[in-house]
Structure 1
Amino acid sequence: MKRRGFICVLGSVASGFWPRRRTIIVTMAAMVLLPIEVSDAGWLSDIFKGSSKQAKSPRQAKSPKHVTSRKPAALARRAVSPKPRNVKLAALGPVGLPPAALKPVATRCDPAKFRIVLDVGHTAESEGAISARNVSEFAFNLRLARQIEEKLKAEGFAETRLLLTEGKARRSLVKRVAAANNLAADLFLSIHHDSVPNKFLEDWEFEGKKSRFSDRFSGYSVFVSRRNPDFKTSFAFAELIGKEMKAQGLEYAKQYTQAIMGRYQRPLLNKETGVYRYDELIVLRNTQMAAALLEAGSIINRDEELKMSSPERRDIISSGVTAAVKEFCEPRWGILGPL
């Protein structure tokens, strides 16, 4: 018996015995318990995403089996095979992300097999920025990356790989991309600590040595590249990192939105989470997996440098990254995406 026919009969029977309110409750219960046919599933999609036209995912657009039109040919097929098919929630796509972040339905990941590459930004030969107290960015990056690796492995992500590269500047970038691609990683996260353009730097002395600083800017930031082969997943992962940083009480660096940054100005994709777009970053655009870059904080800011040097701040950031990876990998990602 079709669902609607059954509901009508059930409603008629119930109306003879119970008040109207109970009839409505019984009818609603029947709707929940009965299987959902493909042709009647549009209402469920509307509940999650609004218009059914807007709700179509790339996979749905390519596959005619999800078409819900009641054309004669479709009705004939249903007459031949009346057995209803249940609709999988995975077909509804991610919920709670802006349209730019929508991606094909992901499979559930097994933490024991899920491979994350933690790229230690810069090298011992090309140390990156120098902090207000004359410590290299590479040293900050390595300490934080190791702590993130430790936490991820403790949470069951046994295939986490720490990527250390040798060499100078651009050549080292090519090496790290090649290494990450050879590892066949599922996610790539490059760890960095921020500085500012030279025009903002001021001179001071620390422990008898000349140094430079800028206390004008502070905060973390997350970058993605639109030229990454899986930009949608990259952005979704970056959003999770930014959300976790914010949940830990951290604020993102807002200077990249300002015209005074000149060529360092970047488009802000989400003003709540601090995710920026930086299309030309080699480690983001040339990696074959979803990739993001985290600037954990400013080491040229004298106050923030002290915080970034502390085990407490490293614990906060590594916990946030680990929570983001876990949320990315939880079973609900394979059903509805990050919420």
Structure 2
Amino acid sequence: MIRRVWRFVGDGKIVLASLLAGFILVGATDITPVEAANKGDVVKVRLGGTQSQTRLVIDLGSSVRGELLSRDTDYDKAVLGLSGVSVNDALSGQGQGLIRSWKLDTTAGMTRLRLDFNGDAKVAKRFLLPPSDGISTYRYVVDVVSVAPQNTTVKPQPIEKAVPPLAPARTELVAEQPRRTKKVIVIDAGHGGHDPGAKGANSWEKDVNLAAARALKTKLEATGRYKVIMTRDTDAYVDKVARVRIARSANADLFISLHSDSGPDANVRGASIYTLSDSGTERAAKNAMNRGDWSLAVQSPDKIVGRILVDLTQRATKNRSATFAELMLDNLDGTTPLLKSSHRQAGFVVLLAADVPAVLLEMGFITNAEDERLLNDSGQRGRMMGQVVKAIDQYFANDVRYASFAMMP
């Protein structure tokens, strides 16, 4: 039999650049904001770009789930459904570049975004950015690209250095793309902002988690082998679903969520690691079967075939997550105390991505005096995160193609 290998195409560069910069920039043209007087959840709408690629950004007061409602072959317009937000009155404005005009209105509980295009164009990418780096709003980003007329050959135009190239949408399936030189690791510091997590005698969980996440980021970047994305790098609250979307939008190779455990018995101490449970697996499958930000790169019009593809991807992801969890426990043993049953399973939201290997590390009990002391000790924190880096190195040393899966004809 012939073994064919396909790769999921990701968009880590754009998302990473947006997260690190803390603002959206398209081309040399400044993004023009449009303020809304009676806007509901919408703070402002911004556009920028050229006749080859245009970006629209909606600043929102809350998280949103996007869904493309129009057909892929509608090159004159696009209609998106935005669940979770509303506008009091219809909002509209003039466009820029490929977007001739836009309109936002809420009907029957769903907000719709309509984009009318200048010439043939399509939505190439859409993703959500959470509040970060002093920015208090969520940002729903829509990238529009020009569509070449059929039966003609269009010579690619050079892109100015100031213009970040649009990454292929996750919905595309291509064969044997060149491997990235660096693996993408998403580090999630649990809790934050108005969600402080568990309380110890002298510290809050959100602060301990962030300190550990920063230490892990520093050690990973020092190797020169990894590109690191933080779901939060300040004391900010990030919605759990948004954390998963950050990992998927970046086409992450690994997702690590850092937490500090708690319990009513102050004598209980030790670290543990969670991977996705069977109940969580079913939730993840339902997410992956739906259109929108969580849909898989491989799609099929046949629901049965589609579910089989999801199950195959999900099974491989669960195996990779379990493998990494065991490597972490092997490396942490001897550096920090472990619970007796240290590898556990749960349906935590941050573990639900069907195509991103993910673990949740409970670094110790903040309600135990000795564990809390170690969690707040910079030297011990560095040793623990150093062992996590060793586990990551071993995980990728197996030379498994984590962003791929095999299909047998």
TM-score by length of 1: 0.52
Structure with higher strand content:
2
Alpha-carbon distance in 1 for matches of 2:221, 2:179: 13
Whichever residue aligns with residue 234 of structure 1, its letter is S
Alpha-carbon distance in 2 for matches of 1:136, 1:287: 31
Other-structure match for 2:194: 125
Pair 179,282 (structure 1): closer, same or farther in 2 beyond 3 Å: same
Q: Does 1:295 align with 2:381?
A: no
Other-structure match for 2:305: none
Would the aligned equivalents of 2:189 and 2:210 in 1 still touch at CA under 8 Å? yes
1:115 match: secondary structure: strand
Equivalent residues in 2 for 1:300-315, closer than 5 Å = 300-315=367-382
1:149 match: secondary structure: helix
Give structure 1 stretches of 5+ with no counterpart. Answer: 1-62, 66-106, 201-213, 255-267, 269-273
Would the aligned equivalents of 2:183 and 2:225 in 1 still touch at CA under 8 Å? yes
Other-structure match for 2:335: 249
Count of residue pairs brought into register by the alignment: 191
Pair 317,177 (structure 1): closer, same or farther in 2 beyond 3 Å: same
Structure 1 residue 184: deviation in Å? 1.0
**1:138 alignment partner, one of 195, 206, 227:** 206
Structure 1 residue 287: deviation in Å? 5.4
Whichever residue aligns with residue 320 of structure 2, its letter is T
Pair 64,112 (structure 1): closer, same or farther in 2 beyond 3 Å: closer
TM-score by length of 2: 0.43
Q: Does 1:275 align with 2:343?
A: yes
Would the aligned equivalents of 1:180 and 1:287 in 2 still touch at CA under 8 Å? no
Alpha-carbon distance in 1 for matches of 2:275, 2:357: 9
Equivalent residues in 2 for 1:1-339, closer than 5 Å = 63=1, 112-133=181-202, 135-164=203-232, 172-196=239-263, 200=264, 214-226=265-277, 227=281, 229=314, 230-246=317-333, 248-254=334-340, 268=341, 274-278=342-346, 280-286=347-353, 288-330=355-397, 332-334=398-400
Would the aligned equivalents of 2:185 and 2:226 in 1 still touch at CA under 8 Å? no
For residues 239-293 of structure 1, give each alpha carbon's deviation from its aligned partner in whole angstroms, at most 9, with x where no partner exists: 11111101x4323123xxxxxxxxxxxxx5xxxxx21111x11110235300000
Structure 1 residue 304: deviation in Å? 1.5
Alpha-carbon distance in 1 for matches of 2:376, 2:236: 25
Pair 300,287 (structure 1): closer, same or farther in 2 beyond 3 Å: farther
Pair 167,251 (structure 1): closer, same or farther in 2 beyond 3 Å: closer
Whichever residue aligns with residue 371 of structure 2, its letter is E
For residues 171-212 of structure 1, give each alpha carbon's deviation from its aligned partner in whole angstroms, at most 9, with x where no partner exists: 71111111111111010000111111xxx2xxxxxxxxxxxx
Alpha-carbon distance in 2 for matches of 1:142, 1:195: 17
Pair 64,157 (structure 1): closer, same or farther in 2 beyond 3 Å: closer
1:234 match: secondary structure: helix
2:339 match: secondary structure: coil
Alpha-carbon distance in 1 for matches of 2:366, 2:268: 10
What is the alpha-carbon root mean square deviation over aligned residues? 2.6
Other-structure match for 1:35: none
Alpha-carbon distance in 2 for matches of 1:177, 1:64: 34
1:319 match: secondary structure: helix
1:300 match: secondary structure: coil
Structure 1 residue 132: deviation in Å? 1.8
Pair 183,282 (structure 1): closer, same or farther in 2 beyond 3 Å: same
Structure 1 residue 320: deviation in Å? 0.8
Pair 141,111 (structure 1): closer, same or farther in 2 beyond 3 Å: farther
Pair 64,191 (structure 1): closer, same or farther in 2 beyond 3 Å: same
Would the aligned equivalents of 2:336 and 2:384 in 1 still touch at CA under 8 Å? no
Whichever residue aligns with residue 182 of structure 1, its letter is S
Percent identity, please: 27
Whichever residue aligns with residue 318 of structure 2, its letter is F
1:312 match: secondary structure: helix
Alpha-carbon distance in 1 for matches of 2:399, 2:336: 25
Would the aligned equivalents of 2:365 and 2:371 in 1 still touch at CA under 8 Å? yes
Alpha-carbon distance in 2 for matches of 1:236, 1:110: 22
2:391 match: secondary structure: helix
Would the aligned equivalents of 2:217 and 2:228 in 1 still touch at CA under 8 Å? yes
Q: Greater CA radius of gyration, 1 or 2?
A: 1
Alpha-carbon distance in 2 for matches of 1:250, 1:167: 28
Would the aligned equivalents of 2:274 and 2:345 in 1 still touch at CA under 8 Å? yes
Structure with higher helix content:
1
For residues 55-93 of structure 1, give each alpha carbon's deviation from its aligned partner in whole angstroms, at most 9, with x where no partner exists: xxxxxxxx589xxxxxxxxxxxxxxxxxxxxxxxxxxxx
